[in-house]
Structure 1
Amino acid sequence: MRVHALPKGSVVTEKGIPWGVKHIQAPQVWNRTTGHRVKVGVIDTGVDFTHPDLRHSLERGINLLHRMALPQDDNGHGTHISGTIAAANELQGMIGVAPRALIHPIKAFDHNGTAFVSDIILGIEWCVHNQMDVVNMSFGMKTKSRSLLNAVNNAYRSGILIVASSGNDGSIGTIDYPAHYTKTIAVGATNQQSRIASFTNRSSLIDIYAPGDRIVSAWLRGKHREMSGTSMATSHVTGAIALLLSLKPGLTPGQIKSIIKRSAKPLRNSRKAPRMAGELNVKRMIKAADLL
């Protein structure tokens, strides 16, 4: 199992609200919801507990590789994902999609960004046991696994939606597992022009597209870095679900999935493929939820 990010971009000093957070119109709903106290499980490489952008958003979580240790990030990927979901440092740093959500880091990936499927399954079970509201899984693999499918379905039945990235091979007609499973939200990446990013795996199984190209977020040692990948798109969707659940706590995974798909903004080049998923738009999503 590998994290879904392309080779690292440069360390940047950009501050404020990153383009992706603005693009999905998250700031337009912050007067109604900031994701307050929604529990987000991030199964990844851990998180940088000393990062000033994240210190108000972090809970303890678990380190599945070293049970006695904090899930401290030694790769950077998990910190980047967590920043997009819930960074909250208006003055010196950046703001994520749901700045008052709570990140519970589950470290299943090593410093190379690789993990055993068995640890992913343990991570999902930890999320169910500790009653996460939504789980971010910005990684994937080519082969299916019956035990991973069972863990995903069990989370869904327990009321927990898993948001998963489609992969970065530029494949058409196939996406990676676990995004391939129907009980997840499968996410593809768009660029600043609202076009599907060239690296995205895509098929009719994709539920939603979101910004994933040249995304600036938190990085190790208090820094910020630009990264691209369906991983980055997935964290935007997870943040949006945190905003939704803070406003409407009782929504089931099925209802959330339906709201997100229904309220998506049609993509620029989707006229050729009318059944294609659209792009995440938080303002439209909240409006759709209000009609329930």
Structure 2
Amino acid sequence: MRRVASVVTALAVVGALAACSPETPEKPQKPVARDTPPDTRGRATPEYLVFYADGKHDQALQAVERAGGTTVGEDSRLGYLLATGRGDTFVEELGADRAIVGVSPDRNIGFATARGTGSTAPGTRSATPRTGKAAFPDASAFTESGGGEPLAGRQWDMRMIGADRANAKVPGNKQVLVGIIDTGVDGKHPDIAPNFDRTLSRNFVTDKPKDENGETLDGPCEAKGCKDPVDADDDGHGTHVASTIASPINGIGIAGVAPGVRVVNIRAGQDSGFFFLKASLDALTYAGDIGVDVANMSYFVDPWLFNCANNRSDTKKERLEQQGIITGMQRAIDYARKKGVTLISALGNGATDLGRPTVDDKSPGYPEGEQKVRRVDNSCINVPAESNGVISVSSVGPSGRKAIYSDYGLEQTDLSAPGGDTLDGKAAKATRSILAAAPERVLRATGRIDASGNPKGADVVRDCARGSCSYYQYLDGTSMAAPHATGVAAILVSRFGKPRSGGLSLAPASVEDLLYKSATQKACPNPRQYVYKAYGETQTHACEGEPSRNGFYGRGIVNAWKAATFEP
């Protein structure tokens, strides 16, 4: 089993974060009534995901009852009950039963992993320079021109992996369906809409204005019942990811890695960027049930930066929560893979050797203010990036070096891809980041464009064509690297997938093998210890391994052109 954990430093951000007929979705077991009784102070009794051992369903029901709880729902596909109960005693009594393998609160437990190059998007958490000021020149200074879409000259990332050439040869098949498990997708964006499948899109979250402590979380609800429509993204992270994968060739803005495939929004993230465990489970099972070919997961599950099954410094309740996260997500990943979904994840932005974690002082990260300092080791894992069956992607800048913020590790890094690095060169430049679509509404809300629609800084670009304008934003992070790999995987499915009911199918193990074979191998730097300097700090990252696989680049940098042309 591959193991990983991630750490945030001052150099990196954690948080910023096909016309195929779907297969008939499997029905989850019907939940029972969910009238949650209040506790003595009038608050709703907490709900928990109670994961049981194989074949122990009935024993788990009995364990919940003995602990004084009530079962209010279940999902037999992933082996868990949804139960209500009061206090730590309920959780600890459950955990003592041999039928139970994990107990996790049904609450916000994760966030996206993107780095903004200008201001921070709503709800994201960003490590900025010590001065607190943006250090980017005006994007108007970047004037490189090129063929293709109007903003193609700004897409150094697509040229690096040969996607600009691959677009003409294998743009991707409409029968290939790519799932965006993220904060949502702006399905009305002019550079996403032609490839957006609204019918299959789903939103598995309900906005939560405040957290348990009364602090602002998602903010005021924009939609009735706090349930956003399936073509909305009030964060911008998921829209950027979807655009990198599949912005069409339509004379507007940019082109994605696979501009001919379809994307489906499978939303698991809150407006604030946090992710419910249950929403992540629901998203993965839904992806499998509707016949998604490749799913992008540019986030990691929290509140534990390191998920440790048996850390001595954690309480029994905390250990059970982490065991629930590890177990539940692995079961959902296994379910999706068995249904034919190739899963690709961002590795993380902690600038850390994930094979040698030592201290975690950022967990639990939700609600705010509950963090503690604990010793950790390599038995702790990052979920889902280091869950079994997931392809994890590190980030490189425009020079091809490992990005300054990117996590790395010989055991942990499977592939690398362009994710941007504003500091990859002399001074800082926004144009070294990844340019992709951004929701106009989010840019207005965060003050990145003025009342007339003009960009206020280097991180935003406007493209106007045929009487309307669309917007794009520079972001960097392993969140931006992963969708490049996802796009290449979609090209491979388009080429080598076998016909199935209304679409194409290629086993995840085959997609993974082809991704590795088509990647461009890249050796560790010489000397192997690379010194990074930024914001008054110096860090040394050591690269282990050979060109065929190493801690910085994994099996290599993804190569869209080779994926579109090679014969394995």
TM class by shorter-chain length?
A: over 0.9
Partner-residue secondary structure (3-state), 2:181 = strand
Among 238, 256, 265, the alignment partner of 1:96 is 256
Runs of 5+ in structure 1 lacking a partner? none
State the SS of the aligned residue for 1:201.
coil
Deviation digits for residues 125-184 of structure 1 (CA, Å, limit 9, x no counterpart)? 111111101101000133252010111111112211110011101111347321102301
Q: What is the Cα deviation at residue 99 of structure 1?
A: 0.6
Aligned AA (1:152): I
Is contact 1:88-1:95 (8 Å) kept?
Answer: yes
Q: Secondary structure at the match of 2:275?
A: coil
- CA shift, 1:261, in A, is 1.6
Greater per-residue helix proportion: 1
The answer to which of 259-268 and 235-244 deviates more is 259-268
Contact 2:488–2:515 (CA under 8 A) maintained in structure 1 = no
Q: Is contact 1:9–1:225 with CA below 8 Å preserved after alignment?
A: no
For 2:242 and 2:139, locate their aligned partners in 1 and report how far apart those are by CA, in whole Å. 17
- The aligned residue for residue 345 of structure 2 is 164
Deviation at 1:92, TM superposition (A): 2.9
Structure 2 segments unaligned to the other structure (5+ residues): 1-109, 120-137, 143-149, 207-226, 308-324, 356-380, 421-432, 441-469, 499-505, 529-544
| TM-superposition CA deviations, 1:2-25 (whole Å, max 9, x none) | 111013537968843322122110
Match of 1:16 in 2: 151
TM-score calculated relative to the size of structure 1:
0.92
Q: Hey, what's the Cα distance between the residues in 2 that align with 1:69 and 1:155?
A: 24
- Equivalent residue in structure 2 for 1:189, among 373, 395, 402: 395
Within the alignment, does 1:280 sit opposite 2:561 as a pair? no
Equivalences for residues 93-132 of structure 1 within 5 A: 93-132=253-292
Letter of the 1:197 counterpart: A
Calculate percent identity across the aligned residue pairs.
Answer: 28
Q: Which moved more, 1:254-263 or 1:121-130?
A: 254-263
Deviation at 1:266, TM superposition (A): 2.1
Q: Which moves more between the two structures, 72-81 or 275-284?
A: 275-284
Query: What is the match of residue 28 of structure 1?
Result: 165
Q: Which amino acid aligns with 1:107?
A: R
| 1:149 and 2:397 matched | no
- Partner residue of 1:241 out of 489, 495, 512: 489
Residue in 1 that maps onto 2:203: 63
Q: Could you say which residue in structure 2 is the equivalent of 1:201?
A: 407
Bigger shift: 113-122 or 244-253?
Answer: 244-253
Letter of the 1:5 partner, please give it. Answer: A
SS at match of 2:196: coil
Aligned match of 1:216:
435
- Contact 2:330–2:388 (CA under 8 A) maintained in structure 1: no
Amino acid at match of 1:244: L
TM-score (norm 2): 0.49
| More strand by percentage | 2
Where relative contact order (Cα < 8 A, 6+ residues apart) is larger, the structure is 1
What's the C-alpha RMSD, in Å, of the aligned pairs? 2.1
**CA offset at residue 283 of structure 1?**
2.3
User: Are the equivalent residues in 1 in contact too, given 2:491–2:563 (CA < 8 A)?
Assistant: no
Deviations 1:80-125 (A, max 9, x none): 0011000115423111101111110012111111111110110011
Q: Is the partner of 2:169 in helix, strand or coil? A: coil
Task: Kindly report structure 1 stretches of 4+ aligned residues shifted beyond 6 Å.
Answer: 10-14
Count of equivalent residues: 290
